[in-house]
Structure 1
Amino acid sequence: MDAYQKVKDKKLVIFELDNVLFPEKDYLLQVYYLFAQFIEYTEQKLATPILEFMRNEFEVNGREEIFEKMATAFDIDRKYKRNFDLLHLNARLPLKLLLYKNMLEFLQQLVIDRTKICIVTAGNPEQQLNKIKQTEWNGLESYLTVYFSAELNQTKSEIFKNILIQNNLSNDEALVVGVNNLDEHQAGLINLPYIESLDIYR
C-alpha cells in the first residue's frame, strides 16, 4: 500500500501514539533504567542485573506484573511499587523519544500538504502527556492537536466523530492510522478509512 497515495485527498489524519509514532518500549525501558538506578541508590542492589531482568521480561512477556516479578527475583520491598508507578507517569528521561524514521517523513509530508494532524491516544493522560513532552518532534509539535480519550471519558470513535464535526469534514476526508484491532474497530464504527501504521513503513 502506498500510504502517500492513500492520504493525497485527505484533509485530516488521526494517529495513536504508542507503537504508531514511536516504539512504546523506548519509554518503558528508560523508566526501568531509572527505577533500577533508584533501587541501587536506596537499597544498594546493583542496577544492571535488575535492569536486564526487566528488559528480558518485557521482551518475552510484556509489561504485565513486571514489578512483582522483579521484586520477587531480587527481594525488593513492595513499598517501592509506588515509586515504580510514579516513574511511569512523570519520569524525566535520559534520552528523548524518537519518531519512527518513516513516520517522521510521513508527518513532514502531511505538514507540507497542509493536512491537519491529530493524535487520539488511550492510556493514562498524565503518562501520555509526559511522553509527548519528551519526544523529539523535529518542529512538528506546533502542527499537532492532541486528545486523551481517558480524560475526555469518550471512546475513540466518539472523539473521531467530534473531530470531524469541529473541522467540518466528511468521513471520506479523514484517515485513521493505528496499530491494533481496537483502533481499526473504533474507526470502523463511524466508517472512517483506516490503515495500519506498519503500512507506512513498507
Structure 2
Amino acid sequence: MDAHQFAKDKQVVIFELDDVLFPEKDYLLQVYYLFAQFIEYSEQKSAQAILDFMRLEYESNGAEQLFEKTAIQFDLADSYKHNFDLLHQNARLPLKLLLFKNMLAFMQELVVDRKKIFIVTAGNPIQQLNKIKQTEWNGLEKYLTVFFVDELEKPKSEIYQNLLFNNNLSPKDALVVGANKFDEAQSKLINIPYIVSPKIYR
C-alpha cells in the first residue's frame, strides 16, 4: 500500500524509534564493536572473536544478559559491565544510523503535506537521544518533536492523549506507526488508528 494513503486524512503521525524508523540492531552491533575494541585494548583479547560471539548471541537470543554471557566466555571482570552500559548511552558510532528507505520516503511525504511528526520512544532517554543524534535524518530533524516515555514516566496512551489535547485534535486525526503489539494496544486504548511499520512501502 502507498504510504500516502495511510496518512492522507491525518494531521499528525506518531512514530516509535527502534525497528520502526531504523533497525535497533544497527545501533547495538556498533556498540558491541566498540566494546570489543575497548576490551582488546585493555585485555589484549581478540576484538574480532568477542564481536563474533556477541553478534551470534544477540542474533540468536537477543540482548538480554549479553554482557554476562560474554564475560563468562572471555573471562572478563564484572567491572567492565559499567563500560558496557555506558557505551549504550554515549557511544560515538563509526557509522550513522540510516532510516528504512520506506520510512524516509513516508516522512518526507508527511513534511511536504504539512503533517506534524512526533516520535514517542520508550527506553533509556539518554540512549534514545544518542540514537537520534546519530541518525541521518536527511533534513527531517527540524520537523520532529520527540517525547521520551521513561523520562515522562507515563504510559504511551497518556502521552498520545496529551499530544492530541495540546494540538486540539481527536484520535481520528492521528496515526501511530509502531512495530509491536504493545504499541498497538496503547493506541487502541484511546482509539488512534495504528499500523505496523513493515506495511509501509513505496
Q: Which amino acid in 2 is paired with 1:36? A: A
Q: Which residue in the other structure is 1:159 paired with?
A: 159
Q: SS in structure 1 opposite 2:79?
A: helix
Distance 1:198 1:137 in 2: 19
Q: Which residue in the other structure is 2:131 paired with?
A: 131
Q: Which amino acid in 1 is paired with 2:121? A: T
Distance 2:52 2:198 in 1: 28
Which TM-score applies when normalising by structure 2?
0.98
Distance 2:65 2:138 in 1: 35
Q: Does 1:121 align with 2:116?
A: no
Please show how residues 30-45 of structure 1 align to structure 2 within 5 Å: 30-45=30-45
Q: Which residue in the other structure is 1:11 paired with?
A: 11
Q: SS in structure 2 opposite 1:201?
A: coil
Q: Does 1:60 align with 2:60?
A: yes
Moved over 2 A (4+): none
Deviation at residue 6 of structure 1 after TM alignment:
1.8
Distance 2:36 2:3 in 1: 40
Q: Which amino acid in 2 is paired with 1:18? A: D
Q: Which residue in the other structure is 1:76 paired with?
A: 76
Deviation at residue 3 of structure 1 after TM alignment:
3.1
Q: Which residue in the other structure is 1:190 paired with?
A: 190
Q: Which amino acid in 2 is paired with 1:154? A: K
Q: What do residues 122-157 of structure 1 show as CA deviations (whole Å, max 9, x unaligned)?
A: 000000000000000000000000000110111000
Distance 2:110 2:2 in 1: 14
Structure 2: tracts of 5 or more residues without a match: none
Deviation at residue 78 of structure 1 after TM alignment:
1.1
- Alpha-carbon RMSD: 0.8
Percent of counterpart pairs with the same letter? 71
Q: Which residue in the other structure is 1:176 paired with?
A: 176
Structure 1: tracts of 5 or more residues without a match: none
Distance 2:59 2:152 in 1: 32
| Number of residue pairs matched by the alignment | 202
Deviation at residue 12 of structure 1 after TM alignment:
0.2
Which TM-score applies when normalising by structure 1?
0.98
State whether residues 2 and 201 of structure 2, in contact with CA within 8 Å, keep that contact through their aligned partners in structure 1. no
Distance 1:4 1:129 in 2: 28
